[in-house]
Amino acid sequence: MELRIIPKGGGKYIINDPKERTIYTVTKAKKLFGNPITTLHDASGYALYTMQRTASGKKPAFDIFFNDQTVIKVSCKSLYVDPSVLFESDKTKIELKGTDDYKDYKILSGRQQIGEMHTERQTNNEPMYQLVIDDPYFDDYIPLLAVAADKCFSKIK
């Protein structure tokens, strides 16, 4: 599966397929106790997952909810040397492991590479993420890999 994740500012993202069709959107709707809530919607506008920041600072952390239950814990493990973001649930552990220039990332399940993500600059100098993941590992929350990387590393780039 190949996706293009385009930040639009204000916590909004558009996720397109290779044919430029919008298949997901991400919005920042409100704040709960000072922490922003980010919601992943499918093409019809149905809310699939919500992501709430649980820790701020240099190494932010997030919880991803499905049906009001935490299903995935997200943590920025390293920011400068060997940048990485870890996604952990009861069923899976996925790591987004970046290069020192924050442009290229490997998506790992254990030691096995299951995909990759590349960062490009748009004409307005904002980042755009090209995410490719092996079909057996694709799930609706996968676009949140790019959103979490953007939230963890965008101030450093």
Following DSSP, what letter does each residue of 108-135 receive, concatenated? Answer: EETTEEEEEEEEEE-TTS-EEEEEEE-G
- Residue 30: the pLDDT is 65
Range of the domain at 116: 2-153
Residue 98 to residue 41: CA distance in whole angstroms: 26
- Domain of 27, CATH number, reads 2.40.160.200
52 vs 154: which has the higher pLDDT: 52
Tell me which residue of 122, 120, 92, 125 sits closest to 107, measured CA to CA.
Answer: 92
Q: What pLDDT digit, counting tens, does each position of 105-144 carry?
A: 999 998 999 999 999 988 888 889 999 999 999 999 999 9
* Average confidence (pLDDT) over 15-30: 91
Whether the per-residue pLDDT at 157 is higher than 60: the answer is no
Number of structural domains in the chain: 1
In which band, very low, low, confident or very high, does the pLDDT at 64 lie, cut at 50, 70 and 90? very high
Percent of the chain's residues with pLDDT above 70: 93
Tell me which residue of 143, 121, 147, 139 sits closest to 131, measured CA to CA.
Answer: 143
- Residue 119: the pLDDT is 92
Q: How far is CA 14 from the centre of its chain?
A: 12
Which conformational region is residue 22 in: left (phi greater than 0), alpha (psi within -120 to 50 degrees), or beta? beta
Residue 48 to residue 26: CA distance in whole angstroms: 10
pTM above 0.85, yes or no: yes
- Residue 81: the pLDDT is 72
Question: Do residues 131 and 106 touch, judged by C-beta distance below 8 A?
Answer: no
Token pair for 58: 């240099």
Buried b (16+ CB within 10 A) or exposed e, 21-53: eebbbbbeeeeeeeebbbbbbeeeeeeebbbbb
